[in-house]
Structures are given as structure tokens and as C-alpha cells.
Chains A and B, each alone.
Chain A
Amino acid sequence: MSAFDDLFGQITKGIKDLSSLEVTSYEGRVSLTAADLKTASFDKILEGASADAEFRILGSSKSDLDGDMEVFFDKDADAADKEDHRKLVESAQKSRQAILDLFKDAITAAMGRR
């Protein structure tokens, strides 16, 4: 059993760019079932939805570590859409901050041992 070791490996695997964070909300129609989500990628979903005339970017935001932030909303986005998008940005920031803190703690601990 090397479950813990594997799990810890996954935590840091593939992380490339934590300096900026992008959250994009799309809206449209697509013909998929919940079971399809296990096999289909998000790109595949967008590909299927983009053919629909109502496909649009509902909102998009990009925030940098230095605090800069750009936000765009579709002109038809209502208050609830914006609130949902804000919540998603907040949760993404929380996740990014968590991993940054983890790196910081680990580096601090490593320096403390020297």
C-alpha cells in the first residue's frame, strides 16, 4: 500500500502557473447525460454547445497574484448570474491560496531544518 505517498504526489503534480487565475462561465445547450461526464472532457462539452445559437460567455474574470483583476460579464447576465460567478471566483481563489500556503509552509519547514 502506498496510498498516502501517491496522494501526496498528486497534490503537487502538474501545477504550472499559480500566478494568475481565470474563471470563465459559459451558457448554452448541449445534449449530454450525467454518465457522459465521466468520459467527456469539458472541451468536448463546449464543442457540442458552441454549435447552438444561444451559446455565449456569461462572464469571465482573470485575477493576478498582485491583486490586479479583470472582469467581463455578458450584457444579459443578471444579478444571480453575477453572484454565482463571484462565488466561483472566490472558491477558485481559496483553492489557489491553499496550495500557495502549503508551499510556503513546506519551504519554511525545510529552511528551519537547515
Chain B
Amino acid sequence: MEPRLPGLDSLGPALDAAGREGHLPDPGRSLRPEATRNEADSRAYVRALRSRLSALGYLPDAGTARSGIVDTSLKAAIAQFQRDAGLTVDAWAGPRTWRALRQLTGFEDEQDPNHWTGPLADLSPPAVARAAYLRLFALGAIDRDECLGVDVDLTLAPGTPLALGLERFLGWAHELGATDERLQPRLSAEALAVLYGQDDLVRRLAAQDKAFFDGHRGFVESAACVELWLLGFDVDLADRKARTLRGKRRQRKLKLAVLDFWRQQTASARPDGWARGRVTRRLFDRLAQLDASVEQDEARLETELIDMVSDFTAGERQSFVDRLEDLASSIWDGARRVARYLLSLPGRLLKLLRKGKAAALHLLKNAARFVAVRARRAFGTVRGAVEIVHRGVVYLRDRILPGSDPQALVIAHDRDFDLRTFTHADAERAAVRTLVDAQAHAAVVFGAACAILGALAAIAQQVFSAVHGPTGWMLALLALTRLAGHFRTIHEQVQLVRTYRMNTPSPFANPAGRDDDEE
């Protein structure tokens, strides 16, 4: 009987279970399945992709935004986005595509355009104009009838919705003191930095007087919607669905959300007249305070959440994970803030969660957001780790190094890592060196794969109990964060392979320029 490593015996089936649930990509695929790459991704990832592409107007049917299905419309949307973002167009939403999407549509991570990387860095790709349009629309600077569709005019010619919206927003920003002078309506680095500076806008709104709020009702209410949406409240963020929503309904939902927000604050934090549910300076002041909460309290919150979940009865736990299943894939924004927001909640509300009262649903939603951010942070690493393990095993399985050329160099190894090479007497030195470097690269990947497996084996027993269940993998990721040392090992190995550079391309790598590196 072949020896099996302790820990790996149970780790494999657990990861397979997570894969069946759609939480992990399929490691059984071949290395270059051009037609199946999107399909190999998890449903949660596909849903997040759809949601963002739909918000940017790349998916004609906004109703499919929450589907986890990969179809021709999704692939067409990915390809169009890649074209617009200056990325390699292959209709596969790999890490580079995802990163570009996240940069353009996120309200927190990497939101500063000055830090954008890749083709987005020079701010000229059409996708940047589209994202700016979406943001202006969400902040109420573009008329509700001009929602972002596939064929919307994205030029800055005088009188276009984008030009008018940008001019309007930059006027507000100047009034708020975000810019020394009123910026020209161009998609410049300065203008985009203000547009994407959501935290700064909130702080500045917190310092405005009543006259500003009365004179900019649409803007401040839209900004409040964004903030409350990020905190998990049931508001209608102005996106493509806005066309179908009547203004009064949107207003009513915003008012209820503001009321709920204040109800969840301590009595001493509530301002006079909070029960009117209006968007006021005090609302932004409180939002800014929550945002400024000290980060170290995140650790305390995490511990409390884990303890809380582990105390659940079976029924409560099922209810919790059902809710997570519903929410987790659609809430890839705002979790950082929500974690801080949770810190401010009085303990009695935490107790309500266990009693299943309706008021606790908000808490549940926020807890789900918090778990999601952990999952999201780990998501790239986990995907990278799976890929590295896969490549490491492919290296071990294939006795002859992929890319070997009988007219240059053939490299073969056996299970015990003994190497044999055959160099053609007439081979060019550069071709031989390329393959020697490729072998070195394969050894790095294999080493990383083994280190990852070692770390996983060490933590496996501690997280398996969390893995079982419909969203077990997400909970397991949360548990993993407590085992930071081991997880750091995995992360470091993923980073090592990502940053490892050879003199020449590896046969393990995709053709030049393909979207294949983890971010």
C-alpha cells in the first residue's frame, strides 16, 4: 500500500467537497483548457463577476447578475471588458481581469486611481470612462434616466451625460473643499481621485451645514445610499436597476435604512430628530466615526464572531449558513467598514441574533459581510495555492519536462527526483538554457506546492469541522485566519511563485501576455 501523509488523507476529500459546492476551482482540469477556464471557477466567483460586469453595463440582461452560470453572454461581456480595459482578450476572467474589475468597481479596496496598475494606470481605456459613469450615476450626478447600458455614450463631448455628470460632481467636490479649484470635466488623475475618494467625501459631508444638505439633496442621499449599502442595509444603490425603481420607493427604503441605522447605535450616539429618518450631517459624522474605528478591534470582533457561531445550536447554525449562502457571493464590497460597524453594536443585539429576531437580520447580514471579506482576502491565495499544487503534481506526474525539445534538450526525472537530460549535439545554447531555466522554475513550483501541502496538512485537523456544511469552506477560511502562521506560509509560497521570474518563458506558463498570473 502506498504511504499517505497524515493530514492529507482527510484534506483531499474535504477540499473536493468544497469544490463540489462550487467554493473552489476544479484542480482536475488540464493546464490549458482554453474553453473551460471560466467554468472551472467557483460559482461564487462567477456570480461576483456577473454582478460587476452587469453594473458596468456589459451584460445586456441585468437580471442575470446573480447567476453562477457561465454562458456565451458572460464570455462576451468578459471579452468586451478586457478589450475596453486594455487587457489581453481571451474571454477568461483570470486574476488580472478580476483585479481590473475590482479596481474600477470597488468602493474600498484599491479605490485610489493613482494606485491602479496595468493598462488602467494611464486612465485612457474605455473601461475607465464606463466605471466613472457608473460611479457618477451611483452618486446622483447623472440623471436617473441615463442609466449605464451597453451602448451608452461614454464620450466627454459637451452635453453628453458623462460630461454633464462629471462637471456636476466636480462642482460638488469643490464646494466640499475636496479640490482647491474647480477641476475641468476630464477623466484626469485628479478628478478620478476625488470621484473614487469615498471615505474623504464622507468625512467632508460630515463637516457641511444644513444649507449644503438642503441644496444638494440628491447627492447627499445618493452618497448615504452607498454608505448604507456598504453597511448591509436594504437600500437601492443607483445602478442599472434604478430605471425600474420609482423614486418614492427608493426614498422610502432609504428612510427605513437610516432609521434602522440609528436604532442600532447606542442611545448616546443618536442625534435629536433621528427618528425622522433624514439624511443629515450627523449621519455622515457617525459613518465617519465608524470608519475611523481602530483596526485592532477587528481581531476582537473576529474572536467574538467565531465564538458566537461555535455556540450555535444545529438549527441556528443551519440558518446562519443558509443566510451566508444567500449573501456571501453578492457582498464583495464594504466588508472592511462593516467589520468596524459591528464593533459599535451593543451586546444586546448580538444576543438577538441567537434568538432569531427580525432585527437581528441586519446583524446576520453584516456578519456575513465580515466573513466574506476574510474569504475574499484568502480567495486569491487559495486559488493560487490550488494552481501551484496542481502544477506541482503535473510536474511530478509527467516524467519528461513539458516543452522539452529533442532538437535542443530533453529533461526527464523519476519519482525520486533523479534527473536525466539529453542535449542535442547541434542545439543552440540559448534553447538549451531556456529549458534548464524551465526546469529550475518547475522545481520552484514543486517546492511551493509541497510547502503549501505541508501547511495545509498542519492545519487540516483544526478546520475540518468547519469545512462540512453548505458554506463550510467560507467558515473554514475564517478559521484559517486564526492560524495565521500556517496561512502565511501558503501566502508566501504563492507570492514566491508569482514573483519568480525566469530569463525566458516557462513551458508551464501560458503564452506571453495571457491572463494567467495570480495577482
| Beta-carbon contact of B406 and A45 below 8 Å | yes
Name the contact of B443 in the complex, choosing from A58, A84, A92 (C-beta under 8 A).
A92
| Beta-carbon contact of A11 and B416 below 8 Å | no
Closest to A25 in B: B421
In the complex, what distance in Å separates the CA atom of A34 from the CA atom of B424? 13
| Beta-carbon contact of B446 and A95 below 8 Å | yes
Interface check B436, CB cutoff 8 A: yes
| Beta-carbon contact of A28 and B405 below 8 Å | no
In the complex, what distance in Å separates the CA atom of A58 from the CA atom of B405? 18
**Across-interface contacts of A71 in B (CB, < 8 A):** none
Identify 7 new A-B residue pairs, CB closer than 8 A, beyond the known A26-B420, A105-B457: A1-B19, A4-B11, A4-B19, A5-B15, A27-B423, A28-B422, A84-B432
Name the contact of A13 in the complex, choosing from B399, B412, B415 (C-beta under 8 A).
B415
Smallest CB separation, A103 vs chain B (Å): 7
Name the contact of A1 in the complex, choosing from B20, B393, B420, B443 (C-beta under 8 A).
B20
| Beta-carbon contact of B26 and A1 below 8 Å | yes
| Beta-carbon contact of A30 and B12 below 8 Å | no
In the complex, what distance in Å separates the CA atom of A25 from the CA atom of B425? 12
| Beta-carbon contact of A88 and B439 below 8 Å | yes
In the complex, what distance in Å separates the CA atom of A7 from the CA atom of B386? 11
| Beta-carbon contact of A37 and B406 below 8 Å | yes
| Beta-carbon contact of B400 and A26 below 8 Å | no
| Beta-carbon contact of B417 and A3 below 8 Å | no
The bracket for how many chain A residues form the interface is: 35 or more
In the complex, what distance in Å separates the CA atom of A65 from the CA atom of B403? 30
> Chain A 21-50, CB within 8 Å of chain B: the 1/0 string?
111111111101110110001100110010
Interface centre among B390, B426, B457 (most CB of A within 10 A): B457
On chain B, the number of residues with a Cβ less than 8 Å from chain A's Cβ atoms is 65
Name the contact of B16 in the complex, choosing from A4, A30, A88, A89 (C-beta under 8 A).
A4
**Across-interface contacts of A11 in B (CB, < 8 A):** 5, 8, 392-393, 396, 450, 453
Smallest CB separation, A14 vs chain B (Å): 4
**Across-interface contacts of A32 in B (CB, < 8 A):** 406
Show 12 residue pairs from A and B whose CB-CB distance is below 8 angstroms, ordered by the A residue: A3-B16, A6-B28, A9-B4, A12-B3, A18-B417, A28-B425, A32-B406, A42-B420, A81-B423, A92-B418, A98-B451, A109-B6
Interface check B276, CB cutoff 8 A: no
| Beta-carbon contact of B421 and A88 below 8 Å | yes
| Beta-carbon contact of B440 and A90 below 8 Å | yes
In the complex, what distance in Å separates the CA atom of A45 from the CA atom of B115? 52
| Beta-carbon contact of B446 and A98 below 8 Å | yes
Contact A15 to B415, CB < 8 A, known contacts A42-B400, A109-B7: yes
Name the contact of A92 in the complex, choosing from B413, B449, B453 (C-beta under 8 A).
B413
Interface check A75, CB cutoff 8 A: no
Name the contact of A5 in the complex, choosing from B12, B447, B461 (C-beta under 8 A).
B12
Q: Which residues of chain A from 57 to 92 have a CB within 8 Å of any chain B CB?
A: 58, 80-81, 84, 87-92
| Beta-carbon contact of A106 and B457 below 8 Å | yes
Seen from chain B, the residues whose Cβ lies within 8 Å of a Cβ on chain A are 2-8, 11-13, 15-16, 19-20, 26-28, 389-390, 392-393, 396-397, 399-400, 404-406, 410-413, 415-426, 429, 432-433, 436-437, 439-440, 442-444, 446-447, 449-451, 453-455, 457-458, 461
| Beta-carbon contact of B433 and A102 below 8 Å | no
**Across-interface contacts of B11 in A (CB, < 8 A):** 4, 8
**Across-interface contacts of B3 in A (CB, < 8 A):** 12
| Beta-carbon contact of A80 and B429 below 8 Å | yes
**Across-interface contacts of A22 in B (CB, < 8 A):** 418-419
Smallest CB separation, A107 vs chain B (Å): 7
In the complex, what distance in Å separates the CA atom of A5 from the CA atom of B442? 22
Contact A7 to B2, CB < 8 A, known contacts A1-B28, A24-B420, A95-B446: no
Contact A2 to B16, CB < 8 A, known contacts A7-B389, A29-B426, A113-B461: yes
Closest to A99 in B: B450
Interface centre among B389, B404, B406 (most CB of A within 10 A): B406
